Amino acid sequence: MTDEKRIITLNGKEYDYEELEDNEKYLVNQLTDLSNKINNARFGLDQLQIAHDACSKMLIDSINKPKEEEVQDEA
């Protein structure tokens, strides 16, 4: 077991987690979980944006590529 204190900083003031009331500990845990979920959502959003951009580029490249009929007509 570790003797390190869990310090919570709120509005520039530090608090020892173990000295908080149960409802305050609950709120700290909620905030920690929400921060993790926000970070995971951002991570997922980054992946979705990259996939969206790649599909968009593939569509643009496909539309701009000369079609076989157009190439034969030009010959």
Domain-located, residue 1: no
Q: What is the mean pLDDT of residues 42-67?
A: 97
Domain-located, residue 14: yes
Domain-located, residue 43: yes
Domain-located, residue 21: yes
Please, which pLDDT band fits residue 73 given cuts at 50, 70 and 90?
low
Domain count across the chain: 1
**Which domain covers residue 55, as residue numbers?**
7-74
Domain-located, residue 42: yes
Buried b (16+ CB within 10 A) or exposed e, 35-49: eeeeeeeeeeeeeee
Q: What is the mean pLDDT of residues 2-19?
A: 92
Domain-located, residue 2: no
Please, which pLDDT band fits residue 71 given cuts at 50, 70 and 90?
low
Cα 75 to Cα 19, 61, 62, 68, 69, distances in angstroms: 83, 22, 21, 11, 10
For CA atoms 39, 40, 46, 52, the dihedral sign is negative
Q: Give the pLDDT confidence of 56-69 residue by residue, as tens digits.
A: 999 999 999 998 87
Domain-located, residue 12: yes
- pTM for this structure? 0.69
For CA atoms 50, 54, 55, 60, the dihedral sign is positive
Domain-located, residue 32: yes
